[in-house]
Amino acid sequence: MLLTLVLIAAGCGDDGGGGGGSGTIALLLPENHTPRYEARDRPEFEAKVKELCSDCKLLYSNATQDAAKQQNQADAALTQGADVLVVDAVDAGSAGAIVKKAKAQDVPVVSYDRLITNSDVDYYVSFENEQVGKLQGTTLVKGLKEQNKPTGPVVMLAGDPADNNAKLFKKGAEDALKAAGVKIAKSFDTPGWSADKAQNEMQQSITSLGNGGFAGVLAANDDLGGGAIAAMKSAGIKPADRPTTGQDATVAGLQRILEGEQFMTVWKAIAPEAGAAAQIAVALAKGDDVPSDLINQQVDNGQKEVPSVILTPVAVLKNNVNDVVKGGDVKASDLCKGKFASACEEAGISGT
């Protein structure tokens, strides 16, 4: 009741549209080398907030992959009067300190995209992240079969160990590969989701296993997949012969798919994810009830069952790249530049 009264008091004033008053919402994103955050998450979130609450004030920060910096940004947002924090954590564990400080000031926290573990977060918005890994694993198995190497072996380039999602992606992928009898010859957890580190890890694998010692690559996202493909090309290995996975449906990843260098990616549509987080944040900032029809799961973060919006990821191969364009996360004009124009045409992608 006290939290509700504080939020209502903070929200009193001009009508922000859609009922209630205005409020201050802080969006804290983790890094800017993965294209999605600045290109899609931030603008989609901000647009939805403005649609729902024209008078709401937005505070934005990007931690550039620095957990301590993100904590300082959260402190600054609280000092500036944030009524709700929407946090995509750099580090799932240490971000608990952000939640603790916010809750001490009766400020609710929405865990966005990455689950903040062992903390009293109010809501969580993300995708079925173990399913992301399962899609990567099962689709890679399909690619291995096409190469007549159904049991691999493969190199696994998993994501940042500080990212709780990376652990879920890895578990889903490992389960899928194990079920298909695929051997993992080398496995790495890649700090900071760094493409350069992934390239080095892949080079180490090629040196250790030999050019013919692996049949494919389970890369946890498109940046890591791109690093692996660069290492293969440097070693004189044709990437088309070694199916490689990815995630995030980046322009670069989709272009590699179109020209046959990358086998697949996983698309997590940003608009519904950012939109759901914005709806929750606006309701909390204005002291309104969060729409009950938004919440579709309760997710255990180690401390509590967190009311959650969990969305469904989609595997993307060459035959459905156009779905990502139609969904708005990639522009045909960006995807189909220069040498990729003919590949786009073959894939039925228009609007360039």
Fold of 2-128+269-311: Rossmann fold (3.40.50)
* Confidence (pLDDT) at 33: 83
Whether 302 contacts 96, CB under 8 Å:
no
CB contact at 8 A, 221 and 157: no
pLDDT for residue 3? 41
Distance CA 184, CA 129 (A): 21
Rounded CA gap, 291 and 295, in Å? 8
Sign, CA dihedral 316-319-323-329, equals positive
**Residue 157 pairs with which residues in a beta bridge?**
188, 219
pLDDT one-digit tens code per residue, 336-349: 999 999 999 999 99
Domain ranges of the chain: 2-128+269-311, 129-267+314-346
Residue 142, judged by CB atoms within 10 A of its CB (0-12, 13-18, 19+), counts as: middle
CATH number for the 129-267+314-346 domain, one of 3.20.20.70, 3.40.50.2300, 3.40.50.2000, 3.40.50.280?
Answer: 3.40.50.2300
Antiparallel, parallel or unpaired: β 154-158 and 123-127: unpaired
**Of 53, 64, 66, 72, residue with least CA distance to 13:** 53
96 to each of 20, 30, 69, 99, how far by Cα in Å?
Answer: 30, 14, 14, 5
Q: Which of 157, 239, 216 is nearest to 190 (CA)?
A: 157
pLDDT at 92: 87
Q: Which residues of the chain have pLDDT under 50?
A: 1-20
For the purposes of burial, counting CB atoms within 10 Å of the CB of 302, is it exposed (0-12), middle (13-18) or buried (19 or more)? middle
**Distance (Å, whole) CA 270 – CA 324:** 10
- Which residues is 275 bridged to in the sheet? none
What is the spatial distance between Cα 335 and Cα 352, in angstroms, rounded to a whole number? Answer: 8
Residue 21: what pLDDT? 66
Instruction: Judge if 2-128+269-311 and 129-267+314-346 fold alike in CATH terms.
Output: yes
